[in-house]
Structure 1
C-alpha cells in the first residue's frame, strides 16, 4: 500500500522511450493515470496502448520541452482529461553536442540549458499552484550522475544536470511548505537510445561496468521504480534530495 498510486495523475515528459517509458509504465502499474508526452505523438500512443492493454489508464499528448506554449498545452490537456496533476516527472532532456568544451557553440549551450533546466522551472510554476492548493504533490526531475563528475565528451550536458539538482533544492525550499516533494533522480549509464553513443562504445561501457559495484550498466526499469517510490507514500518524507541510481559507481568508488 505504501507504493499505491491509485487516484493519482502523473504527467511524464520524454515518456515515449527509455527511462521515461519505464516511468510511465511503472506509474500506471501502481495505479496512476498517466499522461505520456514527448515530441512525437505516435510514439506516445504506442506507450499508451501498452498501458491500456495491461488494464491501466493513460493518454498521449505531444509536446516539446523547448516550447513553453506546448508545455502549457500539455498541462492544460492533462487537467482537461483528469481534472488535476498530482505527479510531474521532468524526464525529457536534450544533448545535441558530443565533444570538448573548446568546440561548444554558445547557442548550443543555451539550448541545452533551456531544454534541460528552464523547461523544468516552467513546469514547476505551471503545476505547483494546484498542488499547493491541495497540499499534496510530487515533482521529480531526472538528472544524471554526470552532474557529479567531469567529462571530456558531454560536459555541457553534465553542467545542465548539475543545475537541475541545484534547482531541485531551491524548489524544495519554496514549495515544501505546501507538502510538495521536489526531488531528483541521478541515473548512471542506462541502456537507452538516448545514451546509445556511450553504451555502444566498448571502452566506455567496459569502464562503467568496471567502476560499478554491481558490475553492469542499468536498464530503464531500474529507474522507473525509483520514480514510483518518490511519487508514493513511501517517499512522503523525502524532499530536496537527489537519489543516485548508478549501480554503485559513485557510492562504491573505483579500486
Structure 2
C-alpha cells in the first residue's frame, strides 16, 4: 500500500456533487475535489453563477472538471431532475456534499447590551416573538436541514453504485453544518443555530441507519467556524473575525479559516484516507468551541 499523498488523496475517476457549489465554502470544496482529480457537478439556483465558476476553473486547470447543474435543493422535482441528469451522464457518484444554506431571521439586539429589547424578561420575550415568523423559520429549515435528507436519499442509489468501483472505497455524503449547531449561544440567530444542530444530528442518524441497513455509503459532516462565504461577503479580515463569530470569547486563531483548510478536510473525507470515518462531525473552527460554551 502506498503512503504517497498523491495516492492517499487521489480522486481521479471520482464523480462528486456539491450543492451550493458556485460560491463561498461550496466553491472551495468543489475546487479542492476537482484539483484532486474529481469530476464535480456544482448545483445552485443561479445557473449564470454556476457557469461562470465552471468556465473559470476549466479554462485554467487541466486536472479535474467542474460542471454546472441548476438544481433547487428545496424542491423535490428539481432534485429528481438533477439526479436523473447525472444518472444518465455518469451512472453513479462517489461524493455528495450537502453545502447549500442560508442565515435566515436574525435578532441583532441580542448582541447589544444597551438594546431596549433587553430591558426585562417580558420585553425580551416579546421582542423575539415579534421579530421572527413561523414562515421564516420554516424557510430556513427547508434549506439548512430538510434539503440534507431529501438530496441524500435521492442520490443514495447512485452513491451505492459508486462504492462498487474500488476495493476498500466507500462513497460518502459530506454535510456542511456549522459550529453554530454545537455552540450554546444564539449568535443573534436562534433559527440558524437550531437548524444546524438538527443537521448535525441528522448526519449521525443517516450514518447509523445506512450502516444498519448494510448500505455502503458513509455520512459525515464538516462544521466550519468563521470562514469567508457569500453570507460573510466572501472576505473576513482578522479584525472582523470576532464580529462575525459573535462568541463570548475571541477566536484563538485570530483569523478566519481558509478555503484550502476547508477543501483539505473535504478531500480527506472523500478519499481513501478517510474511508474509515463514518457518522462523525469534524469541527474546524480555529479553537472557537474550545473557549466558548458548546455541546462538545
Fold conserved (TM > 0.5)?
yes
Q: Which moved more, 1:74-83 or 1:178-187?
A: 74-83
Query: Which among 214, 220, 228 is matched to residue 183 of structure 1?
Result: 220
SS in 2 for 1:36: strand
Aligned residue number for residue 265 of structure 2: 226
SS in 1 for 2:8: coil
Residues 109-148 of structure 1: pairs in structure 2 closer than 5 A? 109-133=137-161, 134=163, 136-148=170-182
Aligned residue number for residue 254 of structure 2: 215
Uncovered stretches (5+) of structure 2, i.e. residues with no partner: 1-6, 111-127, 165-169
SS in 2 for 1:61: strand
> CA separation in 1, counterparts of 2:58 and 2:234?
32
- TM-score norm. by structure 2 comes to 0.79
Map Cα deviations across residues 153-200 of structure 1 (whole Å, 9 max, x no partner).
Answer: 121011110001100101001123333110011000112221349958
- TM-score norm. by structure 1 comes to 0.91
CA apart distance, 1:31: 0.7
Q: Is the 8 A contact 2:32 2:267 kept in 1?
A: yes
Does residue 84 of structure 2 align to residue 61 of structure 1?
A: no
Q: Is the 8 A contact 1:147 1:158 kept in 2?
A: yes
Query: Which among 4, 11, 14 is matched to residue 8 of structure 1?
Result: 14
> CA separation in 2, counterparts of 1:50 and 1:175?
37
Aligned pair count? 254
Q: Which moved more, 1:186-195 or 1:162-171?
A: 186-195
Q: Is the 8 A contact 1:51 1:57 kept in 2?
A: yes
CA apart distance, 1:227: 0.9
- Between Structure 1 and Structure 2, whose CA radius of gyration is higher? 2
> CA separation in 1, counterparts of 2:17 and 2:217?
15
CA apart distance, 1:209: 11
Q: Pick closer, same or farther for the CA change 1:209–1:29 going to 2, 3 Å.
A: farther
Q: Is the 8 A contact 1:3 1:229 kept in 2?
A: yes
CA apart distance, 1:41: 0.7
Q: Which moved more, 1:7-16 or 1:148-157?
A: 148-157
